[in-house]
Amino acid sequence: MTDLLARTADLVAIPSESHQEAALADHVEQRLNGAGGLSVERVGDNVVARTDLGRDHRLVVAGHLDTVPSNDNAQPRIDGDVLWGLGAADMKGGLAVMLELATTLADPAIDVTWVFYTAEEVAAEHNGLGHLFAQRPDLVAGDAAILGEPTDAALEVGCQGSMRVQITFRGARAHTARPWMGRNAIQRAGRLLAALDDYQERRPVIDGCEFREALQAVFVEGGVAANVVPDRAVVMLNHRFAPDHTPDQARDHVASVAGPYLAEGDEFEVLDVAGPAPPGLAHPLLASLRNRNGMEVRAKLGWTDVSRFAAAGIPAVNFGPGDSTLAHNKDERVERRSLDEVHHALAELLRLGP
């Protein structure tokens, strides 16, 4: 059996900060081309390798090539059964498993598409998987998808949507010695902020997985001068919503929370929204992944690229080695056990099919 910890260290040793993935893409492309039996295409620094065996099912397995900037942890270091270094968990461990399977599994029971993509760690507009869905949807099509983000070999299913809302509270200026001549917009905003601090989130259970929503104030700004009752305050909210809500329902929910504190002249604006993804476990490929391994299943509370597959009608889950809470952390690391567990489960799925 290949030493996946060492293979992951090899990948960590190739720097691939977002927008600088070319060297790692070269490495990946070369290894995939060398494996045989795969048709390999490169789109920018995205690399896609596909089997074409005429199987009944096609599984897409995707992982991002890029890392966040180094945090004094660019050099990989193996200590026993643990590899330390930038990207060890997020997600060069996952890439190592993908490359190992892509280059060794000769006769899978299902067709597989391996997607190695750029710029997951930066603004959504740069996301390589997004570019592929926009420019080459044929390359990323499939019946179900697995995203190799770090879940420590558990199944993290679906993902919650994310919406940013900006609310502008209006007031009327006055001298602070006579505030009753005006209306304090900052204090009006305060009533909403206080209500948010008491917010009781929904925890819907979907396909047996409990999601947990959130609604948080992430920015606030207001003020004119130290002796002026302020006539404007701006609050930005971030709402995370479970996949049983559409973006429209999520907007209505935020509006219903804010409504009691708004008045004529105030503004309520949805700045952007990233849709949620349902758990997707109903698909036979993903159900069999869970059932064969009896693995822990958790709802994914953050937003991940599984949502891009869901938006294209492809059920997708997060499943990869490494602890996501260590991602972007100076102490980022991955354990051999986690790599081996993910490798074992995916290899079995590819060998046996649904």
Residue 123 lies near a second copy (rule: CB under 8 A): no
Interaction between residue 189 and a second copy (CB under 8 A) = yes
Nearest to 269 by CA among 257, 254, 282: 254
What does the alpha-carbon distance between residue 144 and residue 316 come to, in Å, rounded to a whole number?
6
Q: CB of residue 36 vs a second copy: minimum separation in angstroms?
A: 41
Of the candidates 226, 256, 264, 313, which one interacts with a second copy according to CB under 8 A?
A: 226
**What residues contact 35, with CB distance under 8 A and at least 6 apart?**
49, 102, 103, 104
For residues 268 to 287, the per-residue mask of contacts with a second copy, x marking binding by CB under 8 A and - elsewhere, is: --------------------
| 186 vs 289, beta carbon nearer a second copy | 186
Q: Is 164 among the residues that bind a second copy (CB under 8 A)? A: yes
Total number of residues binding a second copy (CB under 8 A)? 45
List binders of a second copy among 298-327 (CB under 8 A).
Answer: 301-303
CA pair distance 295, 290, nearest whole angstrom: 6
Distance (Å, whole) CA 128 – CA 119: 6
Q: Which of 152, 151, 72, 99 is nearest to 335 (CA)?
A: 152
Which residues from 62-101 bind a second copy, rule CB under 8 A? none
Active-site annotation holder among 21, 29, 45, 66: 66
Considering the complex, what minimum distance in angstroms separates the CB of residue 306 from a second copy?
14
In order of 2, 75, 150, the CA distances from 72 in angstroms are 28, 8, 21
Nearer to a second copy, 144 or 147 (CB): 147
125 is a catalytic site residue: no
Catalytic residue among 45, 111, 120, 152: 120
Q: Does residue 7 contact residue 76 with C-beta atoms inside 8 Å? A: no
User: In this chain, which of 79, 197, 294, 313 binds a second copy, going by CB under 8 A?
Assistant: 197
Q: Interface with a second copy includes 187 (CB under 8 A)? A: yes
Q: Is 238 in the site for a second copy (CB under 8 A)?
A: yes
CB 33 within 8 Å of CB 10: no
> Angle at CA 151, nearest 5°, toward 145 and 157?
45
Query: What is the C-alpha to C-alpha distance for residues 244 and 249, in angstroms, rounded to an integer?
Result: 9
* Site for a second copy contains 106 (CB under 8 A): no
Whether 198 is catalytic is no
Dihedral (C-alpha) 87, 91, 92, 96: value to the nearest 10 degrees? 160
Rounded Cα distance, 351 and 354, in Å: 9
Answer yes or no whether residue 162 interacts with a second copy by CB under 8 A: yes
Smallest gap from residue 6 Cβ to a second copy (A)? 32
Q: Which of 18, 73, 184, 338 binds a second copy (CB under 8 A)?
A: 184
Catalytic (active-site) positions: 66, 120
Residues lying near a second copy in the complex (CB under 8 A) are found at 160, 162, 164, 175-179, 184, 186-197, 214, 216-230, 233, 235-236, 238, 240, 301-303
